[in-house]
Structure 1
Amino acid sequence: MTTTTQETPAPTRVELAGSLPETAVLNILRAALAEDAPYGDITSQVLIPAQARATAVLAARVPGVFSGGAVFAAAMRLTDPAAVVDVLVPDGQPFAAGTPLARVTGNARAVLLAERVALNLVQRMSAIATRTAEFVDLVQGTKARITDTRKTTPGLRILERYAVRCGGGANHRFSLSDAVLAKDNHLAVITGGDPAKLTAILRQAKAQLGHTTHFEVEVDSMDQIEPVLAAGVDTIMLDNFTANQLLAGVALVNGRARVEASGNVNLHTVAGIAATGVDVISIGGLTHSVVALDLGLDMELTVG
């Protein structure tokens, strides 16, 4: 994503480059601003002169990996279309504590109005990028790809998924509409507890799909692997397998499908999981349990 922002954009349009769709991001920002200041910011209205201008710097209090530069810029320009925003660190780039990440100059009331929304989103996105990069670093030298899951904040998935990519990870299916992923609850319903039915049912389901639709099935025991593979699935997810079970599972699959590992993945276990030869490691913790990265917006000066 390009993070060099335009000087004084047209008031009717906020530029967002790359793979963050402008309309979706602006919808998130407008909803967040409406939530945070439904009738305006009365503190700034009674304390800050209407024509006062300010320069503020988005600064890192701790090290991390940046994500959300264009989101920060868009938030500032929604409250002041004439604001000048410079994103100083590209998305996906590591930074040290104390690094200036972005700078905004504009109407002081507008900067303060956008401050909390912009910080909340960029802090969360950068936290996700930072956590993802930690996992990615630990599987270097293996073929395993680190991916997210659908365990995202409702309404923020597009931002959180982008942040995973900023950290060097990849995205799983975006929504329930994108691919088939038959999990344990699906299998329990369709087989009625009879594993002998599994292959035929999965084949019948696969026959209903277009040739471009990905078909994945989750298994939680070794004895499910062959019946699932016999249905011709694209990916088989080995859920909550131990490292030894993963080794055995990868050997049994033997290239007949992509192998995904899921469950019990953390910074202590991920390297061992990757070493088993799995193709994908999906981690809900990339998005569902990160703690916002400590970033701050420091006012540098006030003019007029």
Structure 2
Amino acid sequence: MLKLNVNNESSRLRAVVLGTANSIGPTPTVEEAYDPKSLEHILAGTYPVESDMIKEMDAFNKVFEKYDVQVFRPNLIENYNQIFTRDIGFVIEDKFIKANILPDRDRELDAIQYVLDQINPSDIISAPEEVHFEGGDVMLWNDYVLIGTYKRPDYKNYITARTNQLGVDFIKELFPNKTVLSFDLVKSKTEPRDNALHLDCCFQPVGNDKGIIYKGGFYDEKEYYSLVELFGKDNLFHIEREEMYHMFSNVFSISPEVVVSERNFTRLNNWLRENNFVVEEIPYAEIAKQEGLLRCSTLPLIRD
């Protein structure tokens, strides 16, 4: 049996589900694009090819091997994108919470059923249909659960709005011992530079007390300032609009000291090293074209 345990984003990782880029299928049509960044690359003819994405995910997997992390991969669904496992579920404390994702992505949960079979059934939680959340919007910080959402009445018109107020309320009820803070994110269906698809597109804690943040991703400045207050201004690395577009805040922590980052994130990687992090740099720029990066490709199950 797997004994689930996740309380923050950076404690020593022991077990994780890493997505797969194998048998990803043809380039989506314009109508099939889930987000504005994929759409941009479909239209430009620069959408990533399978072999490049497999190489990138292999590089990520090698880092996990180096740090002796137990890695699960989804069972293969032919001609289907299974890179972003973060969307399909997440662990808080010792509970696995199934995400209510875009309807045609249910199969991705079936593909990790063999992992779920190793978890105590009473620790697996499903939410009612009207409750929406995805793992990219749920950020753990010890006593806090930080949740990205979209609070305006046109929620249902936005394929980029993935977590609703009912989702926030559901987590609050489930974990009454946690302080749950929600953040209204800036969304766009057409401009990826103004679309915080999930909270991890504009914010992520690293180490024990640091974080990466993009002010422009927050619809309400007060909510942005609440994070600045929580972490302290000097502990936050502020990214610019173009850096947010390249997904600088979507790195992944293996421990409080070790961060996996994209090799082109020079400014961020230098800051991390200046703050005594070990930075494992890997290529991930092709996968980034689908508006997801390192954190999006992982579903942590056990951290110390």
Shorter-normalised TM range: under 0.3
- Greater Rg, structure 1 or structure 2? 1
Asked which structure has the greater RCO (Cα within 8 Å, sep 6+), the reply is 2
Q: Larger % of helix: which?
A: 1
Q: Given the two structures, how large is their TM-score scaled by the length of structure 2? A: 0.21
